[in-house]
């Protein structure tokens, strides 16, 4: 039996008179990849940033690995890794220098080369962030979430804007985080990605969770209602054609 690592109960967030998160409750299990899906404005970032201790909630309770967000926010910060947008990084520092800077902030000692190795960026150790491709930047930003060896990793649209090869490469990296025993919470607008990566997803709309289960279960439930695709799918997709023609190897190195 896996254990609950994040428990959100009756979470509400209001911005003035507007309720962005409307009394939602959900659990995330230890070691799973949990997807938070939904259209823009659904309340995903607000929810995640509250759990990440970066935003104040209006009401509700949140327990992260046994720690109450209201009482122990600093202890929660120590066990989570939050992916920041790479545009916020100092563009003129080398990757190794940035890792030293971040590990100083976390009060940790890390082997920068080993960390870069884990995201396949050893060769770029002396490059600056501005010299990296989109896929490399995303991998680097994931590396920075690992500095404090977190139990829980939050990834916000980690593959947006990447080409199909780089996207697959990131999927392997994210699956690797789960293999190492971490719990991963991810937002994405790519449903194929959620289907492949996520053990469970919660679908949010207008501040509410409107469905939550494994992708398989959600699809089976929809099919059980008699739903059919308007056109029968072929055995391959255009993306399969693209990968078949251009190969699987990464192009961003
Ligand atoms: P998502 O991440 O699903 O796109 P958000 O959590 O960013 O959604 O936003 C949910 C809703 O709350 C949106 O309508 C957004 O405009 C609103 N919102 C987000 N942040 C603020 C804020 N700081 N002040 C006022 N409204 C906000």
Q: What is the CATH number of the domain that holds 63?
A: 3.40.50.300
Which residue range is the domain that position 32 belongs to? 4-86+152-246
Tell me, what's the pLDDT at 238? 85
Q: What is the pLDDT of residue 253?
A: 54
Q: Which residues contact 86 (CB under 8 A, 6 or more apart)?
A: 129, 137, 138, 140, 141
For residue 136, being part of any structural domain is answered with no
Residues with CB under 6 A from ligand 1: 15, 20, 38, 40-46
Q: Quick check: is 100 in a domain?
A: no
Which atom of ligand 1 is nearest to 15's Cα?
Answer: 25
pLDDT of 229 = 83
pLDDT value for 224: 93
Residue 94, beta-bridge partner list: 128
- Tell me how many helices (H) and strands (E) the chain has: 9, 10
Ligand 1 atom nearest residue 45's Cα: 2
DSSP state of 234: P
Structure tokens at 97: 């220098």
Alpha carbon nearest to ligand 1 atom 5, residue: 43
Whether 195 is covered by a domain: the verdict is yes
Q: What is the mean pLDDT of each run of 10 residues along the chain (253 residues)?
A: 92 97 98 96 96 97 98 95 74 90 86 91 92 89 91 93 87 93 96 96 97 96 90 82 82 59
Q: Helices 95-106 and 134-145: crossing angle, nearest 10°?
A: 20
Q: How far is CA 59 from CA 131, 193, 209, in A?
A: 43, 32, 17
Number of domains in the chain: 1
138 assigned to some structural domain = no
Q: In what order do the strands lie in the sheet with 33-37?
A: 80-82, 152-156, 183-187, 33-37, 200-205, 208-213
> Which token pair is 179?
């293999």
Evaluate whether residue 127 is within a structural domain. no
Structure confidence at residue 175 (pLDDT): 96
Is residue 93 in a domain?
no
pTM, entire model: 0.91
In a domain, 128, yes or no: no
Kindly state the tokens that stand for 204. Answer: 């949010």
Residue 207 Cα: closest atom of ligand 1: 10
* CA nearest ligand 1 atom 25, residue: 15
- Look at residue 182 and tell me if it is in a domain: yes
- For residue 204, the ligand 1 atom closest to its alpha carbon is 3
Strand 33-37 relative to strand 183-187, pairing: parallel
Residue 42 three-state SS: coil
Tokens 């207008």 belong to 206
Distance 20 CA to ligand 1 centre (A): 6
Residue 123's pLDDT is what?
Answer: 94
Best substitution site from 12, 15, 17 to test ligand 1's pocket, by max atoms within 8 Å of Cβ?
Answer: 15
């Amino acid at each position: 039996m896996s254990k609950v690592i994040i428990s959100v109960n009756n979470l509400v967030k209001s911005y003035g008179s507007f309720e962005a998160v409307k009394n939602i409750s959900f659990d995330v299990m230890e070691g799973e990849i949990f997807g938070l899906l939904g259209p823009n404005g659904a309340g995903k970032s607000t929810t995640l940033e509250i759990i990440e201790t970066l935003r104040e909630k209006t009401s509700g309770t949140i327990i992260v690995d046994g720690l109450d967000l209201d009482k122990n926010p600093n202890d929660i910060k120590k066990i989570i890794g939050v992916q920041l947008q790479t545009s916020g990084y100092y563009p003129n520092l080398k990757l190794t220098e940035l890792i030293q800077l971040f590990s100083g902030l976390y009060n940790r000692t890390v082997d920068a080369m080993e960390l870069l190795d884990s995201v396949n960026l050893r060769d770029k150790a002396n490059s600056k962030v501005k010299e990296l491709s989109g896929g490399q930047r995303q991998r680097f930003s994931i590396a920075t979430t690992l500095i404090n060896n977190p139990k829980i990793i939050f990834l916000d649209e980690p593959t947006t804007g990447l080409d199909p090869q780089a996207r697959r490469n990131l999927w392997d990296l994210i699956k690797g985080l789960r293999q190492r025993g971490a719990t991963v919470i991810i937002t994405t607008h790519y449903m194929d990605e959620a289907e492949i990566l996520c053990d469970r997803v919660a679908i949010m709309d207008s501040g509410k969770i409107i469905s939550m289960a494994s992708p398989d279960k959600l699809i089976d439930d929809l099919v059980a209602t008699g739903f059919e695709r308007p056109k029968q799918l072929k055995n391959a997709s255009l993306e399969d054609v693209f990968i078949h023609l251009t190969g699987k190897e990464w192009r961003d190195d």
